[in-house]
Amino acid sequence: MRIVVPAGGIGGARFLRGLQAALGVGAEPTGTDPAITVIGNTGDDITLFGLRICPDLDTVMYTLGGGINEEQGWGRAAESFTVKEELAAYGMQPTWFGLGDRDTATHIVRAQMMAAGYPLSAVTAALCDRWRPGVRLLPMTDDRVETHVVVDDEPGGRRAIHFQEWWIRYRAALPAREITGIGAEDAAPAPGVLEAIDEADAVLLPPSNPVVSIGSVLAVPGIREALERTTVVGVSPIIGDAPVRGMADACLKAIGVETSAQAVAEHYGPALLDGWLVDKADEHTHVDGVAVRSLPLYMSDPEATAAIARAALDLAAQLKGQPS
Amino acid sequence: MRIVVPAGGIGGARFLRGLQAALGVGAEPTGTDPAITVIGNTGDDITLFGLRICPDLDTVMYTLGGGINEEQGWGRAAESFTVKEELAAYGMQPTWFGLGDRDTATHIVRAQMMAAGYPLSAVTAALCDRWRPGVRLLPMTDDRVETHVVVDDEPGGRRAIHFQEWWIRYRAALPAREITGIGAEDAAPAPGVLEAIDEADAVLLPPSNPVVSIGSVLAVPGIREALERTTVVGVSPIIGDAPVRGMADACLKAIGVETSAQAVAEHYGPALLDGWLVDKADEHTHVDGVAVRSLPLYMSDPEATAAIARAALDLAAQLKGQPS
């Protein structure tokens, strides 16, 4: 069984943990080919203080590798913030990024390897040698793609800021006029990404942000086309009219998509999507050409999350072989 | 009163604190021209993990700025080592360098400013804006100079290692066959260094390591010549036949100089040295052309250290005006 999961950060990582439980897989011996390949969003990546920070890749790696701060869902457990405080004492900007000491070491290793010429995919593999997440974690691309958000500036003007600044510093509260992936058009899928999709029994879209997480992955030329050739089952990130977590509504608004399970499915579209899992609250959802199933979608605990993953696998198995 | 002090790390920093007490100076308001200019050794500097580390400059800055770990004499007070532990968990080498979390922030700021094109002297001034050490702290040079130590390798062979590796990893216990300052010959004094020496009422050599600290400063072309034109009083780093602290004996042995107050004074030589303070135990010291005074030389507490500084100032005042 080979499953591919394009994923963002917290929501993606939690779904992946449920998927591992559903498949009965986890940390594998070295050399084993994992059943799950994750195509991680790198549009959130940012360089700060000379450190190369990949929030979504790290959240997946830490969550599946046992290093995550469980309560907040991102960052390391037992984290301290000494480096961050000291940088602020020197007057270094920005101060809004939650740079932990343990996390800093990850970014130092990554920045050093990248400075030495290794592509992000090789760096990610090296970091995973320590964390053993039990999945093959691939960045969506080795090229630099950065999600920028266009916001209002001086009366009448606009400016583009890095997604992280919009998300963390402004808590997504500045109306986003546009969300763009700088560099996306010229990016190539990282080695192994297209092959993994082509060889997959199913591709599952976790309830990650459909704009800045899954949307970033889909924006890398070649990935959407590959996904359209295979069986794709998505898990709605919207329950009722609210995101399961995070601030996906602010992102959907920016691209003119309503915050509903129905609208997100239509946004992905039937060419991409074969199946769509929605919450019981959204069982009225209907999209031509997409098989919709409803079940409780809150990833409230590991068992509930595994049940969602199992439903996604079951639906994919049903749809497999039907014309995509 | 303008005093110039070429300095290494711990011994130099402690002497400087005594000198500040003797002169009644300390943290100055911005814009004030400090009475003391320190010419800091940069031969110990090293780049690790993409961080630019200047141990001696930082020891002076932290000691005079109130951030030093008083017991060990180097590094920050209330330091933690999370980043170091995490780097080791990733398998990053080397693991022997004592990289603290607070200290890491200093090195990040420095590396970032240097990557942006600022010379080390400008970076040092920027760091001192926070620490207010009450001295003007200049690196000996903005050029890259690295002290390397030649040690025995495979039977019959030799290899050169960075001074920090020899000092910290091997505790200076590998016999040093040669100590060289890579880049020293082509280095230029940092802006302000020669001017400070020329305008000084006196230059005091603290009991820093005469080989790898003061010796490095003297190896920058132009600095020794400038010092020979002015009144220089040194404080012996050797009491009896042992270094006051540190492992200066291992360095002296490498350059064929005996570990004694007498031999170090002869090594500096009368062209450089006008006065020489030795401990009571070494009152027999005699070097033609150098005025020797003996007094208790252990910097056991701030008062004792201030008394040594006062004696150095007094001797310099006596010698001032006499043919140098």
Contact check, Cβ <8 Å, A90/B83: no
Question: Which residue from A minimizes the CA distance to B76?
Answer: A86
pLDDT tens digits, residue range A251-273? 999 999 999 999 999 999 999 99
Contact check, Cβ <8 Å, A101/B108: no
Q: Who wins on pLDDT, A324 or A52? A: A52
Residue A284 included in any domain: yes
Mean pLDDT over residues A183-210, rounded?
97
Mean pLDDT over residues B122-147, rounded?
97
Residue A175 pLDDT exceeds 50: yes
Note whether B105 contacts A: Cβ–Cβ < 8 A: yes
CA atoms within 13 A on the CB side of B19: 34
Listed residue (A164, A172, A183, A307) closest to A235, CA to CA: A307
- Residues listed for chain B: 324
Note whether A48 contacts B: Cβ–Cβ < 8 A: no
Residue A30 pLDDT exceeds 60: no
Determine which helix (DSSP H) or strand (DSSP E) holds A266, and give its type and residue range. Answer: helix A261-268
pLDDT at residue A223 in the model: 98
Note whether B152 contacts A: Cβ–Cβ < 8 A: no
Distance between CA atoms of residues A147 and A140, nearest Å: 13
Contact A101, A85 (CB under 8 A): no
Strand partners, A68: A76
pLDDT at residue A27 in the model: 65
Residue A241 included in any domain: yes
Judge if the upstream peptide bond of residue A296 is cis by omega within 30 degrees of 0: no
Note whether A124 contacts B: Cβ–Cβ < 8 A: no
Mean pLDDT over residues B16-40, rounded?
86
Note whether A178 contacts B: Cβ–Cβ < 8 A: no
pLDDT tens digits, residue range B148-163? 999 999 888 999 999 9
In total, how many domains does chain A have? 1
Domain of residue A268, CATH code: 3.40.50.10680
Confidence of residue A324 (pLDDT cuts 50, 70, 90): very low
Residue B66 included in any domain: no
Contact check, Cβ <8 Å, A87/B101: no
Confidence of residue A320 (pLDDT cuts 50, 70, 90): confident
Mean pLDDT score of chain B = 95
Note whether B125 contacts A: Cβ–Cβ < 8 A: no
Question: Which residue from A minimizes the CA distance to B111?
Answer: A50
Confidence of residue B67 (pLDDT cuts 50, 70, 90): very high
The nearest CA of chain A is from the CA of B93 a distance in Å of 11
Mean pLDDT over residues B16-22, rounded?
96
| Strand B176-182 with A291-294, pairing | unpaired
Residue A262 included in any domain: yes
Question: Which residue from B minimizes the CA distance to A111?
Answer: B50
Confidence of residue A26 (pLDDT cuts 50, 70, 90): confident
Confidence of residue B190 (pLDDT cuts 50, 70, 90): very high
The interface pTM score, or ipTM, of the predicted complex is 0.92
Residue B60 included in any domain: no
pLDDT at residue B242 in the model: 86
Contact A123, A113 (CB under 8 A): yes
pLDDT tens digits, residue range A134-173? 999 999 999 999 999 999 998 889 999 999 999 999 999 9
Within B173-216, strands assigned E span 176-182, 202-205
Lowest mean pLDDT among A87-101, A168-182, A262-276, B29-43: B29-43
Residue B3 included in any domain: yes
Q: Who wins on pLDDT, B120 or B26? A: B120
Contact check, Cβ <8 Å, B104/A102: no
The nearest CA of chain A is from the CA of B111 a distance in Å of 8
Note whether A86 contacts B: Cβ–Cβ < 8 A: yes
The angle subtended at Cα A317 by Cα A313 and Cα A318, nearest 5°, is 120
Note whether B173 contacts A: Cβ–Cβ < 8 A: no
The nearest CA of chain B is from the CA of A127 a distance in Å of 7
With beta carbons under 8 A apart, name residues in chain A contacting B111: 50
Note whether B124 contacts A: Cβ–Cβ < 8 A: no
pLDDT tens digits, residue range A108-141? 999 999 999 999 999 999 999 999 999 999 999 9
pLDDT at residue B49 in the model: 96
Contact B163, B146 (CB under 8 A): yes
| Strand, coil or helix: B63 | helix
Domain that holds residue B263: 1-43+141-324
Mean pLDDT score of chain A = 95
pLDDT tens digits, residue range B95-117? 999 999 999 999 999 999 999 99
pLDDT at residue B241 in the model: 86
With beta carbons under 8 A apart, name residues in chain A contacting B115: 50
pLDDT at residue B324 in the model: 45
Residue A314 included in any domain: yes
Token pair of A99 as six digits: 């740079």
Residue B247 included in any domain: yes
